[in-house]
Amino acid sequence: MAFPKMTDLELRGKTVVIREDLNVPIKDGKITNDKRIRAALPTIQYALDKGAGVIVLSHLGRPKEGEFTPETSLAPVAARLSECLGRRVLLSKDFEEARAVRPGGVVVFENVRCLKGEKANDPELAQKLAGLGDIYVMDAFATAHRAQASTEGAIRAAKEACAGLLLTAELEAFAKVLDNPQHPVVAVIGGSKVSTKLELLNNLLDKVDKLIVGGGISNTMIAARGFGVGTSLYEPDLVEASKGILAKAEALGKEIPQVIDVVVADALQEGAEATVCMADAVPADKMILDIGPKTRELYDRVLKEAKTIVWNGPVGVFEIKPFGEGTKAIAQSMADSDAFVVVGGGDSISAVEGYGLADKMDYISTGGGAFLELFEGKKLPAVAALEARCAN
């Protein structure tokens, strides 16, 4: 996986166009979480420090193409970026005005999804975006799985293109986990549905030494082993596919540590009474909502032996207190282990942050869909376009 990196290029006196993912949640004109802006800062700051003028591109929400409206404006993002950088930031939707940026200057170009042709990856728009500056920097990992004008077309159209610091860090973390990892490699895949993670499970099984499954996925696996799962969330349609995964693991000599005990309740609600039972003896009127203490111990041992860990998806309904012990325990085991740990997925990350353990992980991905596609073994269009530039 060779791609041009921003740190290898001469930026002084150049105009650098940086595609970020600054699609932050905004309520009543106020940003409620600026994580994505903070994740983009090192790349923008780096370009400024090296003496470049910077034009930042991003999308926001899902506006109608061809129309700029106040509701879909990046104005709050530009204001927040200005605060973070401690310098003036111009917001513009005019190509000429943006192109006039001077070294040390920052322009936020308006919501790229308001531009006609963005979604369809129109070559003309791609050319226009690339033509805003001398170097096109792709840094929007969370949007790297979409082949759109600002995420793929412009990389191909630009005179010079490269990956920014964030995209580079994401791809390097990924490579450290799956391309060239230290063994044993353990993946923990939880969450609600096998159907959304079937490709992920299949691809990871080829790469890892052990696969821990949790959450609703584990319920379907328990059913695939022939045990009852009571009223648990599970997918009857995916029992066969789950059997396929268990058989594949067996054939490859990969271990899927078996859930020993589980936490069950009558209903998925706050205040429901949580009890523990063995995974092969779930009462018909109960639902599985978390892993039990013996399973937590087993997983702790597996995780402490690992040298590399990738985690996506909570192993229980962590949002509701009595059912969050399992997810908290595995997060703690990862924090305590000396493995290289990568965490991805919105819910897993909010769990880790909620436990105050984010700093203890080696890498926390900023991509949801992009993270999944990367770990499913797919080539992200933006990354393919960058790699193609190295091949020439």
Binding site for ligand ADP (CB under 6 A): 190-192, 215-216, 219, 233, 288-289, 312-314, 316-317, 319, 345-348
- Name which of Mg ion, ligand ADP, none residue 319 binds, using a CB cut-off of 5 to 8 Å depending on partner kind: ligand ADP
**Segments of 22-66 assigned E as strands:** 26-27, 30-31, 53-57
Tell me the C-alpha distance between 338 and 343, whole Å.
Answer: 15
Tell me the C-alpha distance between 64 and 62, whole Å.
Answer: 7
Q: Does 325 bind Mg ion (CB under 5 A)?
A: no
What stretch of H or E contains 369?
helix 369-375
- Name which of ligand ADP, Mg ion, none residue 117 binds, using a CB cut-off of 5 to 8 Å depending on partner kind: none
Can you read off the two tokens belonging to residue 229? 């799962």
- Name which of ligand ADP, Mg ion, none residue 292 binds, using a CB cut-off of 5 to 8 Å depending on partner kind: none
Q: Which is nearer to Mg ion, 29 or 369 (CB)?
A: 369
- What φ, ψ does residue 368 adopt, rounded to 5°? -90, -80
Nearest by Cα to 188 from 319, 74, 295? 295
Supply the residues annotated as catalytic: 36, 193, 346, 369
- Name which of Mg ion, ligand ADP, none residue 246 binds, using a CB cut-off of 5 to 8 Å depending on partner kind: none
What's the number of CA atoms in the CB half-sphere (13 Å) around residue 281?
7
Q: Which is nearer to ligand ADP, 128 or 294 (CB)?
A: 294
Nearest distance from residue 373's CB to ligand ADP, in Å? Answer: 13
Query: Which residues, including other chains, have CB under 8 Å from residue 46's CB and lie 6 or more apart?
Result: 6, 7, 165
Q: Say if residue 25 is preceded by a cis peptide, omega within 30 of 0.
A: no
Q: Which is nearer to ligand ADP, 47 or 298 (CB)?
A: 298
Q: Which is nearer to Mg ion, 20 or 347 (CB)?
A: 347
The number of helices, as runs of H, and strands, as runs of E, in the chain is 14, 16
Nearest distance from residue 191's CB to ligand ADP, in Å? Answer: 2
- Name which of Mg ion, ligand ADP, none residue 348 binds, using a CB cut-off of 5 to 8 Å depending on partner kind: ligand ADP
Q: List residues bridging with 287 in a β-sheet.
A: 265
**SS percent in the chain: helix, strand, coil, step 5:** 45, 15, 40
Nearest distance from residue 269's CB to ligand ADP, in Å? Answer: 12
Can you read off the two tokens belonging to residue 321? 């207190």
Nearest distance from residue 180's CB to ligand ADP, in Å? Answer: 25
By CB under 5 A, the residues from 140 to 179 that bind Mg ion are none
Tell me the C-alpha distance between 328 and 360, whole Å.
Answer: 13
Q: Does 13 bind Mg ion (CB under 5 A)?
A: no
Q: Does 66 bind Mg ion (CB under 5 A)?
A: no
Q: Report the Cα 93 to chain-centroid distance in Å.
A: 29
Nearest by Cα to 256 from 195, 313, 189? 189
Nearest distance from residue 275's CB to Mg ion, in Å? Answer: 27
Give the CA diameter of the chain: 70
- Name which of ligand ADP, Mg ion, none residue 230 binds, using a CB cut-off of 5 to 8 Å depending on partner kind: none
Q: Which is nearer to ligand ADP, 9 or 239 (CB)?
A: 239
Q: Does 347 bind Mg ion (CB under 5 A)?
A: yes
Nearest distance from residue 348's CB to Mg ion, in Å? Answer: 8
Q: Which is nearer to ligand ADP, 72 or 365 (CB)?
A: 365
Nearest distance from residue 108's CB to ligand ADP, in Å? Answer: 29
Kindly indicate which of the ranges 95-103, 107-115, 271-279, 338-346 contains the residues binding Mg ion, using the contact rule CB under 5 A. Answer: 338-346
Distance (Å) of CA 359 to CA 100, 166, 297: 40, 17, 23
What's the number of CA atoms in the CB half-sphere (13 Å) around residue 99?
10
Q: Which is nearer to ligand ADP, 18 or 370 (CB)?
A: 370
- Name which of ligand ADP, Mg ion, none residue 288 binds, using a CB cut-off of 5 to 8 Å depending on partner kind: ligand ADP
* Residues at the interface with Mg ion (CB under 5 A): 346-347
